[in-house]
Structure 1
Amino acid sequence: MSEPLTPAPRAAGRQPSDTRKLVAVLLGLTALVTLMLCAFALPSVNSGPHQMPVGVTGPRATAQELEHKLDGSEWDVTFYDNTDALTSAIKERDITGGIAMAAGQVDVYTATAGSPMGSSALTTLGNTLAAQQNTKATVHDLVSFPDDDPRGAGLAAAALPLIFGGMVPAALLSRIFPGHAGLRTRLAGAVLFSLLAGAAVTAFLQYGTRSLSGTYWLTALGVSLNMAALSMTFIGLEALIGIPGLGIGAVVMMFIGNPLSGLSTGPHWLPDGWSTLGQLLPPGASGSLLRANAYFDGTGAMTPALALTTWVAFGLLLNFTADRRGPRTAGQDTSPAQAQPVAS
């Protein structure tokens, strides 16, 4: 009578390990999906005017009454002596829009290219005030999007390409020119790509879809600065800690930087702390710089340009640190002494 077959110990030992791996993968994927939902849903749910700077003008008693009425969590109201001062403040980006009150007349001044959602909310507010006086509000859009793209669809669509324009080249260059020996080649490639891609992206948006106006080369340099900030940082992260560095950078830029960038709405459409963080990260800073150069002749470009320059410096610091650490960073290079066989 033959003995019964028993399963091999190795196969039996492998089953719990596979189960644990499957559970870990499923939990990780669930956490990732939840993180993505939180990253993109929370800014949308909490969107709206948050301390949005606006101006009012008109008869002092009427305007100051409106100023006290509106000042709060939604609007940050400033009184101006006349309409010229109000419109000048809008063009200089001191405020996002304003309302001029007069007897039986309400004029709303907006800058749609600066804050599309804010301009819409301010127009709604102006219409409400006008209805209280049994009249209609007159809307003046001082800085609008180009006629060929009146809703700014091209600007909004540039969000993800601007991020991928820094992330993908860094990943490819790190793979094609790996290790310590290829570090400086990767940096040179990132700089050259940023200049070429910045010129190409700006040309497409300005001359292809006609979504941008302003000085072409100024706008192109701003886009190039964004791509350099991202690619330098990604290359530095990869040089220091390998592939996980690229993953960390991608998560931060995609799941935090992109939803908080305010590119399609304007930064004041997010809660204050979120908006501040978003403007410090490359996606938000690049969006603000693009908006300033493309529609406001560079007005308001200093702060986002400084933020992106800081990221470039941070990326260079990461790469400098990796360069000082030498071949141990990538673990792929070997010194000549290591490469030669030992004589017997």
Structure 2
Amino acid sequence: MLLTAFAWPSVRSSVHDVPIAVAGPAAAVKEVSAALGKRLPGGFETTEVADTAAAERLIRDREVYGAIDVSSGAPQVIIASAASGAIAQTLHGVATALSQAQAQTAGAAVAIRDLAALPADDTRGAGLAAGALPLVMAGLLAALLLTRLVRGTARRVTGALAFAITGGLAAAAILQFWLGSLNGTYWANSSAIALTIAATSLSILGLEALLGSVGLGLGAVAMMLIGNPLSGISTAPEMLPGWSGTLGQLLPPGAGGQLLRSTAFFEGHGGTRPTVVLVIWLALGLLLCLASTLRARRAATVTAGLSEDGRITGLAYASATRKS
């Protein structure tokens, strides 16, 4: 199961339906789109825009991963390596092919411009990609320790939130100030990480509170064997096979990775959807914890009532015995 979960998405990853923009006159845009379709059939989902500014706006808003701009005559390829290094590399290959085609027609070489570059200390984005598993493990570890060492739902929830805040501050400091893998505001990055850890740990705590050890196992499987391999942090969700990329973005690891990219490199643009996903998981965990608490109180009330009835019945029997 571990081999399948981690190897299958990597082996089957490919460029398919990746959203990019093509800027320029309608005739030139159709020509470029046709050329892309021949080079990588089904690889790109193109959005036609009129000029460079519109293409750049889509990239900064994280609606597309890059753009091919033919609006000024001389073509150029605009990439955003911070959004996905793998897709940026693919667009490099597209630029090379366009340059070769231009050379045959005595045209100018195609320029490449990185609109959202990765930090100079981590130009491959290795720190962000490697940080995906530790974030999942942090949430899982918090839930495991709290269920074993802490009694009471309120205490466990408080512990999970404290763990998430501390972990967010520490992880963001390591990635941003030591490894140099993140840009942006430290507090925004630490908040994104803390929300990811909290959503993971509280959802697992809720499952454990409701189902016991079975719930803990289900939560671990969902986050480790499904959420982490399908997060798309090391490549992009659109590169994962079939529906798996979409599924991964509905789980805390994938949503957390996308939110951290948004806060670190795009000033928060594109972070609304992953934030909503994480908040839903966090709220679900809280609701499950609350449901478990209410169920336990109801059971305790029923037990106390039965005990009281039994005590009263016993007293009545003793009184009747004395009278007789």
- For Structure 1 versus Structure 2, the TM-score category normalised by the shorter chain is 0.7 to 0.9
Aligned partners of 2:198, 2:288: CA distance in 1, in Å? 14
Question: Partner residue of 1:225?
Answer: 195
Aligned partners of 1:73, 1:36: CA distance in 2, in Å? 30
Tell me if 1:52 matches 2:21: no
The one-letter code of the counterpart of 1:233 is: S
With over 3 angstroms needed to count, the CA separation of the structure-2 counterparts of 1:103 and 1:186, relative to structure 1, is: closer
Q: Secondary structure at the match of 1:280?
A: coil
Question: Partner residue of 2:144?
Answer: 171
CA contact (8 A) 1:50 1:272 kept: no
Tell me if 1:209 matches 2:175: no
Q: How far apart are residue 115 of structure 1 and its match? A: 1.3
Instruction: Report percent identity of matched pairs.
Output: 42
Q: How far apart are residue 136 of structure 1 and its match? A: 3.4
User: So what's the TM-score if we normalise by structure 1?
Assistant: 0.82
Q: How far apart are residue 100 of structure 1 and its match? A: 1.8
Question: Partner residue of 1:13?
Answer: none
Q: How far apart are residue 300 of structure 1 and its match? A: 0.4
Aligned partners of 2:71, 2:292: CA distance in 1, in Å? 64
Question: Partner residue of 2:319?
Answer: none
Question: Partner residue of 1:238?
Answer: 208
Q: How far apart are residue 288 of structure 1 and its match? A: 0.3
User: So what's the TM-score if we normalise by structure 2?
Assistant: 0.86
Aligned partners of 1:271, 1:292: CA distance in 2, in Å? 23
Aligned partners of 2:234, 2:63: CA distance in 1, in Å? 19
Aligned partners of 2:207, 2:55: CA distance in 1, in Å? 46
Which 5+ residue runs of structure 1 have no aligned equivalent?
1-34
Q: Residues 268-306 of structure 1: CA distance to partner in whole angstroms, max 9, x if unpaired?
A: 212351111000000000000000001100000100000
Q: Residues 209-230 of structure 1: CA distance to partner in whole angstroms, max 9, x if unpaired?
A: 1110101111111111111101
Question: Partner residue of 1:190?
Answer: 160
Worse overlay, 267-276 or 142-151? 267-276
Aligned partners of 1:323, 1:173: CA distance in 2, in Å? 16
Question: Partner residue of 1:36?
Answer: 2
The one-letter code of the counterpart of 1:320 is: L
Q: Residues 30-51 of structure 1: CA distance to partner in whole angstroms, max 9, x if unpaired?
A: xxxxx12221222112211121
Q: How many residues align?
A: 301
Question: Partner residue of 1:137?
Answer: 110
Q: Residues 71-98 of structure 1: CA distance to partner in whole angstroms, max 9, x if unpaired?
A: 5521001222122221222112121101
Q: Residues 172-208 of structure 1: CA distance to partner in whole angstroms, max 9, x if unpaired?
A: 1111114xxx221111111111111111111111111
Q: How far apart are residue 234 of structure 1 and its match? A: 1.2
CA contact (8 A) 1:111 1:141 kept: yes
Aligned partners of 1:273, 1:136: CA distance in 2, in Å? 37
Aligned partners of 1:70, 1:136: CA distance in 2, in Å? 18
Which 5+ residue runs of structure 2 have no aligned equivalent?
315-324
For residues 79-94 of structure 1, the aligned pairs below 5 Å read 79-94=48-63
Aligned partners of 1:184, 1:46: CA distance in 2, in Å? 43
The one-letter code of the counterpart of 1:208 is: W
Question: Partner residue of 2:249?
Answer: 279
Aligned partners of 1:153, 1:252: CA distance in 2, in Å? 24
The one-letter code of the counterpart of 1:120 is: Q
The one-letter code of the counterpart of 2:99 is: A
CA contact (8 A) 1:70 1:77 kept: no
The one-letter code of the counterpart of 2:186 is: Y
Question: Partner residue of 2:44?
Answer: 75
User: Which one of the candidate residues 283, 294, 306 is aligned to 1:324?
Assistant: 294
The one-letter code of the counterpart of 2:124 is: R
Q: How far apart are residue 65 of structure 1 and its match? A: 1.5
The one-letter code of the counterpart of 1:50 is: H
